[in-house]
Amino acid sequence: MRSSIVKLFAVLVLLCVGSGNIPIANAQVSFRDPKLPLETRVNDLVSRMSLDEKISQMMNAAAGIERLGIPEYEWWNEALHGVARSGVATVFPQAIGLAATFDAPLVQQVADVTSTEGRAKHHEYARNGERQRYKGLTFWSPNINIFRDPRWGRGQETWGEDPYLTGLLGSAFVKGLQGNDPKYLKTVSTVKHYAVHSGPEPERHSFDAIASKKDIEETYLPAFRTTIIDAGATGVMCAYNRLNGEPACASKELADILFNKWKFKGHVVSDCGAIDNIFLRHKVVKTEAEASAISVKHGTDLTCGREYKSLGEAVKLGLIAESEIDTAVKNLMRIKFRLGMFDPPEMVKFTQTPFSANDTDANRALSLQAARRSLVLLKNDRNTLPLRKGLRNVAVIGPNADDVEVLLGNYNGEPSHSTTPLEGVRQKLSGSSVTYSPGMYATGATFEVIDPNAFPGGLKAEYFNNGTLTGEPALVRTDASINFNWYSLSPAKEVNTDNFSVRWTGKLTAVESGRYSIGARGNGPVKIWIDGKEVLTETTNRRTRNTLADFDFVGGRTYDIRVEYVELANHYAQMKLVWTPPNSQERLRKEALEIARTSDAVIMVMGISPSIEGEEMPVSIDGFRGGDRTEIELPKPQQQLIKDIHALGKPVVLVTMGGSALALNWEAENLPAMIHAWYPGPEGGKAIADVIFGDHNPSGRLPVTFYKSVDQLPPFDDYRMEGRTYRFFRGDPLFPFGHGLSYAKFDYARLNLKKEVKAGQPIVVTAEVNNSSSVAGDEVVQLYLTNTYSGTRMPIRSLVGVQRINLRPNEKRPVTFTLDPRAMSAVMDDGGRIVQPAEIRVSIGGKQPGFTGLADAPSTNTVSGTFRVTGEPYQLPK
């Protein structure tokens, strides 16, 4: 009798479990059984969810489903060049700098380290019950949009202007993030922004990119195809803009390519707020429910935002079927299964990643290696570089010389240690005199951070774990000044990461008399009192803002100062107390000229910064607009200071930093040595010093064309490729794509290839590279192809192969490339690819062929030859 009752109770339990009426987190149900096929488990899990529960999983902040034992999950995480916005992590050079390495194995290693640190952080967070934004395993990287125009502020996030290089390096990054385990993903790589997306930033939410089928297939889509088909990316992010009238996240054309032609089996997430754009800005439908329904129908499984909360209404209105929602949720759950989230931790090797794997010595060494390989030696007349380490007096001048923010770019983590260019030079020349002046304020700045010397005895700092400065402080300490970029970090272990406040009190002494502007740079409400008088109140919480108030100071007099700050900005938290002393700009200029006049050599570190170029930024100064640029020269004050210092007759080494091309016309004509350093990461200062003083032989190459001015460019909002990038630009660039010098000399010989190849067949091309110098170095061997087929517009030339090799002095080495039919194909007006009978010219060298003068690398040459494609035209599969 008792046995029968037990059996009956067991049956009832199973029935209840199946109906979802009691928690089943630990029950023996199909989706919890790792031995079952993946699709069986996915189908079982989704079948147990109600419609509301399904919808709750389709937003980036996915709700937990307690009765199924599913914790909440935040899909939004970033890893553009290291784990971002999640505290201390190894930060690598910005993506455009990594692109300049032309080094796919290095990029894959960088991504592998990034995913290791992502796993280490995620499991540490999970152990502590933390599941907020930037703590998951689904990374919204890499950005593989084509950097078609140097004015685009987000171009720094890309791999440059070339489809082949972008696909090569993007695929390496995807493979590094996702790992090679046969069952489990290490992390998820989400390629973005699909598709045809590259500014302008201020119009990105409403813009309609008009592009031909030919340009889409020839330029805008190849990297997406490569990263998805060849590298197996499991995530795609759709873009804000429309493409030929269709919102990217609800595009029939893009969905057909992704799912039908490429057979993509992963998941698609919208860019943040992109679904709202469909009805609020693109106005292709009238309601949020309609926008949500058409997006899901066209394959957007997940919204970054809350728009999909309207899907319940959409079902009721007949705009979408629940079965279509099921498909989307299954795509999302499949990703979670592949990450091992429903399996015992001991079965998933990545869950064993210790937190100590984050920010290791080896990882930081890799960041330094990447920074060294990213630096591009643009010019080196008369072997000006490397400089002698025995120089007695070296002046380091420029607004980027001692600025940590300029090392990091955007979408970055927080390094545990950074070396600015100034610090790198000082470390290299410990026995010499190294003097420094910024020479001016940073571009766009009208202030300077108040130096610690202005605060005798420092400032008493009281940190509160609330936003009201009330109760007992969690921490009281002395701060030397107020100059903090916390971002996603806590000020100290005793203080909250988010929602804290600080009160600083102390004495402030002005050096000279006059009217100052004093205030704050950062975000969050700020108040400032001087001698008990409230001189500034800022109550807004903008992402980045500069707020200043005028005050008359008497030089040498000491004032009581009190500053109160409330942190409400999550991963953008920063607070700097700044001022503008009278005549400060002229003082800095005179200071720079004086130290240059007494030096043996001058290193000028100039350029732009991520504070003025980037994603949809509130920047409106000369030469910049909303994160984009309107001009591509150096800011005018920088140009003038460079000319003034050059006139002193001292050897000048110019180091430029920034995320895109610069029109350095006068500089290239008059200065003997120039290095472009991008945003090189926290080890960038050491890498720059290593190159300047000869401890590393430069080997970076330009992944973008350096134009002479915007006059050489079509209108920014014109998405036609004619006249854009090295493949279609017929003018004379300042420095061409692929350019970069070395301290070694490389020669090419013995090009070998067949004279004919049948359409649809591959061809092998070989050559020999010789280091004919006494200096070891890396050479970036580049293979370019020019297809002379005349039946449609063809690129002037296209990069179709890259190899980075290291050669000892007088060492020779053969290099071999295999060109597949896709490399030899012509893209027709209808977007189809055909290998047509035609003559094809190839060139192998350390640069792009066809340029002389300033742009020509004296230390390298090229070898060229031709072959003919014969037979009937060969149609490539779509």
Residue 192's nearest CA partner among 90, 300, 105, 296 is 300
264: left (phi over 0), alpha (psi -120 to 50) or beta: beta
pLDDT of residue 27: 56
Q: The domain 448-584 belongs to what CATH superfamily? A: Galactose-binding domain-like (2.60.120.260)
pLDDT of residue 10: 41
The residues pairing with 552 across neighbouring beta strands, listed in sequence order, are: 515
**Low-confidence winner among 546-550, 705-709, 863-867 (lowest mean pLDDT):** 546-550
Mean pLDDT over the full length of the chain: 93
| Dihedral angle of Cα 252, 258, 261, 264, to the nearest 10 degrees | -140
- What's the pLDDT tens digit per position in 627-663? 999 999 999 999 999 999 999 999 999 999 999 999 9
Question: Is pLDDT at 18 greater than 60 in this prediction?
Answer: no
Query: For residue 521, what are the CA distances in angstroms to 118, 481, 563?
Result: 31, 14, 13
Is the Cβ–Cβ distance between 427 and 479 less than 8 Å?
Answer: no
Selected catalytic residue, list 288, 479, 613, 633? 613
Fold of 742-875: Immunoglobulin-like (2.60.40)
Give 511's pLDDT tier (boundaries 50, 70, 90). Answer: confident
Selected catalytic residue, list 117, 161, 215, 271? 271
Instruction: Give the integer Cα–Cα distance in Å for 534 and 563.
Output: 10
Strands 475-479 and 459-464: antiparallel
Amino acid residing at 29: V
Question: Is pLDDT at 109 greater than 50 in this prediction?
Answer: yes
More confident call, 793 vs 544: 793
Amino acid residing at 476: V
Does 613 qualify as catalytic in the annotation?
A: yes
pLDDT of residue 544: 47
Q: Where are the domains of the chain?
A: 29-62+189-335, 369-443+587-712, 448-584, 742-875
Question: Is pLDDT at 721 greater than 60 in this prediction?
Answer: yes
Q: Could you tell me which CATH number the domain at 369-443+587-712 has? A: 3.40.50.1700
More confident call, 87 vs 14: 87
CB atoms within 10 A of CB 838: 18
Amino acid residing at 483: N
Contacts of 554 (CB under 8 A, 6+ apart): 510, 513
pLDDT of residue 543: 47
Question: Which helix (H) or strand (E) is 604 found in, with range?
Answer: strand 601-607
Instruction: Give the integer Cα–Cα distance in Å for 800 and 865.
Output: 15
| Dihedral angle of Cα 192, 193, 198, 201, to the nearest 10 degrees | -110
Instruction: Give the integer Cα–Cα distance in Å for 623 and 625.
Output: 7
Two tokens at 236?
């795609």
pLDDT of residue 4: 44
Mean pLDDT confidence for 400-415: 95
Mean pLDDT confidence for 780-795: 98
Contacts of 180 (CB under 8 A, 6+ apart): none
Give 853's pLDDT tier (boundaries 50, 70, 90). Answer: low
Longest Cα separation, the chain: 106
Please give the DSSP secondary-structure letter assigned to residue 448. Answer: E
Is the Cβ–Cβ distance between 96 and 147 less than 8 Å?
Answer: yes
Question: Is pLDDT at 858 greater than 90 in this prediction?
Answer: no
Instruction: Give the integer Cα–Cα distance in Å for 835 and 828.
Output: 10
Contacts of 59 (CB under 8 A, 6+ apart): 302, 303, 305, 306, 307, 308, 309
pLDDT above 90: percentage of residues in the chain = 87
Question: Is pLDDT at 3 greater than 70 in this prediction?
Answer: no
Cis amide leading into 142 (omega within 30): yes
Question: Is pLDDT at 207 greater than 50 in this prediction?
Answer: yes
| Dihedral angle of Cα 447, 452, 453, 456, to the nearest 10 degrees | 130
Question: Is pLDDT at 838 greater than 70 in this prediction?
Answer: yes
More confident call, 426 vs 443: 426
Is the Cβ–Cβ distance between 85 and 488 less than 8 Å?
Answer: yes
pLDDT of residue 746: 96
- What's the pLDDT tens digit per position in 240-282? 999 999 999 999 999 999 999 999 999 999 999 999 999 999 9
Instruction: Give the integer Cα–Cα distance in Å for 177 and 90.
Output: 14
- What's the pLDDT tens digit per position in 590-630? 999 999 999 999 999 999 999 999 999 988 789 999 999 99
More confident call, 138 vs 543: 138
Question: Is pLDDT at 679 greater than 60 in this prediction?
Answer: yes
- What's the pLDDT tens digit per position in 313-326? 999 999 999 999 99
Does 820 qualify as catalytic in the annotation?
A: no
Is the Cβ–Cβ distance between 435 and 402 less than 8 Å?
Answer: no
pLDDT of residue 24: 53
Dump the DSSP string for 508-553: EE-SS-EEEEEEEEESS-EEEEETTEEEEEE----SSEEEEEEEEE
Question: Is pLDDT at 805 greater than 70 in this prediction?
Answer: yes
pLDDT of residue 855: 41
What value, to the nearest 5°, has the Cα angle with vertex 214 and ends 211 and 218? 105
**Low-confidence winner among 19-23, 77-81, 137-141, 185-189 (lowest mean pLDDT):** 19-23
Give 548's pLDDT tier (boundaries 50, 70, 90). Answer: confident
Residue 407's nearest CA partner among 157, 101, 684 is 684
- Specify whether domain 29-62+189-335 bears CATH 3.40.718.10: no
Instruction: Give the integer Cα–Cα distance in Å for 441 and 612.
Output: 13
pLDDT of residue 256: 98
Amino acid residing at 807: L
Residue 96's nearest CA partner among 657, 470, 655 is 657
Contacts of 315 (CB under 8 A, 6+ apart): 51, 321, 322, 325
Residue 302's nearest CA partner among 546, 92, 58 is 58
Question: Is pLDDT at 22 greater than 70 in this prediction?
Answer: no
Question: Which helix (H) or strand (E) is 504 found in, with range?
Answer: strand 501-509
